[in-house]
Amino acid sequence: MREELQELGADVFCAGLQDDCDITFAPEEYSLTNILKSSPFHPDIIIFMDSIERVIPSGLENPPVPMAAYFIDSSINRFFQRPLAHLFELVLTDQKADCILLHEGGVNTRWFPLTADTRVYHPYTISKKFDLTFVGSRNPVTRIKRENILRLLERNFDLKVFSGDPYLSASETAEVYSQSRLVLNENLFPAVNLRLFEAMACGTVVLTEENDAGVFDLFRDGEHLVTYNPDNLVERVKRYLEDDDSRERIAENARRVIIEHHSMRIKAVELLKLLGDLIGSHTAEADNMSRWERLAKVGEALLLFHVKWHKRDPTALKRAKDYLDASLNERPNADAFLHLGMLYSLTGDHGAAEMCFQGATRLSPNRHIWRLSSCTKPRRSSRQN
């Protein structure tokens, strides 16, 4: 979206871990201080864009300008995104359910669905050679629902699956979609995902799961796409493979609705409006979180990030401890004690963990504190292994 923002008159400087950024940092150098030193201008706002190469930068607890965030894959990454969200004056989420959850937790948030880059994803002038395709990972162990759907369709139709080895590039994926009469969309959780927008942008009928995750807020079944459930999937595929007129009508509607309502440029206009409103309303008093609270939130996010993504940032656990210790030095508080206790449990220091849990219980006596140190100690059993 950088090009679209620049075309609309915004000065944009991208810094991160990806090679396509204006400046690329090693994980240990990724901090707000280093980013601002490298910027060719003083920004009015900083946007933290969660990405696949995710690492939490240092310095989020003390931003020099207003900060916003865009969280992707929010339904499976909420475990570390939720504490992090409290550091930002505005949080955008790609999933509606997580927008609601954050709003209920006191975060200023907006649902901001993903979209397709129509410079890549558009109808290619090639013939339709596939009845039904699916582009995505296939793992019978970790994605059981997906595997069952694929096997059902393979028994009944000529399904072509592109699951890697090698993975398709963006342009190759767009070509596959353009050559498909129907494209299957399936997701780990109820969602409005990227595959949905990309296949629709290619002018192809997308079969997507029925859910209440926001699909019907954006599109109409039978007009822009086709939804399915376990009972009608085979019937829906059969019908739309046989009904050329309906299929071509829906495919054209799909392409048009993406261009008219969900293009990168339209999303860029929407984003600039949200950011402009935030900058215009920002005051030094806008942040009602104390320093110890902010430190505790960063420490919590880094700890939870480490549990799943420790290979992405080997320093996350140490940084989490530093933040939690700093929070407790500012003011003893239950949150920092609780998450420091969890950290000590992970590292096997059960005595320190127990002391931290006692501190959390003392400061928040009505709160149920899980004693993870007890869970991780060896326990005797009368049963033979």
Give per-residue pLDDT as tens, 68-96. Answer: 999 998 888 889 999 999 999 999 999 99
pLDDT at 27: 82
pLDDT at 374: 41
Residue 351 lies in domain: 291-376
In the chain, DSSP finds a helix count (H) and a strand count (E) of 16, 11
pLDDT tens column, 203-238: 999 999 998 899 999 999 999 999 999 999 999 999
pLDDT at 372: 43
State whether 85 and 158 are in the same domain.
no
State whether 235 and 270 are in the same domain.
no
121 within domain boundaries: no
The domain boundary residue, chosen from 246, 281, 316 = 281
Q: Which residues pair with 132 in a beta bridge?
A: 159, 182
124 within domain boundaries: no
State whether 257 and 272 are in the same domain.
no
Higher-confidence residue of 188 and 199: namely 199
Percent of the chain with pLDDT over 90: 78
State whether 144 and 220 are in the same domain.
yes
pLDDT at 384: 37
pLDDT at 68: 96
State whether 365 and 269 are in the same domain.
no
119 within domain boundaries: no
pLDDT at 259: 96
The CATH number assigned to the domain holding 229 equals 3.40.50.2000
Percent of the chain with pLDDT over 70: 93
State whether 169 and 232 are in the same domain.
yes
318 within domain boundaries: yes
pLDDT over 80 (residue 158): yes
State whether 277 and 305 are in the same domain.
no
280-283 contacts: CB < 8 A, separation 24 or more? 282/66, 282/89
What are the strands, taking DSSP E only, across 235-383?
A: none
Task: Provide mean pLDDT across the span 239-259.
Answer: 97
The domain boundary residue, chosen from 220, 246, 281 = 281
User: 313: pLDDT confidence band, cut at 50, 70 and 90?
Assistant: confident
pLDDT over 80 (residue 378): no
State whether 104 and 189 are in the same domain.
no
What are the strands, taking DSSP E only, across 120-242?
A: 130-135, 159-162, 180-185, 205-209, 226-228
State whether 351 and 325 are in the same domain.
yes
122 within domain boundaries: no
pLDDT at 268: 95
State whether 276 and 356 are in the same domain.
no
Chain-centre distance of CA 97, in angstroms?
12
For residues 99 and 107, is the Cβ–Cβ distance under 8 A?
Answer: no
Which residues contact residue 184 at a Cβ distance below 8 angstroms, ignoring those fewer than 6 apart? Answer: 132, 133, 134, 149, 150, 153, 159, 206, 207
123: left (phi over 0), alpha (psi -120 to 50) or beta: beta
Number of domains in the chain: 3
User: 53: pLDDT confidence band, cut at 50, 70 and 90?
Assistant: low
pTM (2 decimals)? 0.89
State whether 243 and 144 are in the same domain.
yes
178 within domain boundaries: yes
The CATH number assigned to the domain holding 342 equals 1.25.40
For residues 258 and 118, is the Cβ–Cβ distance under 8 A?
Answer: yes
State whether 98 and 197 are in the same domain.
no
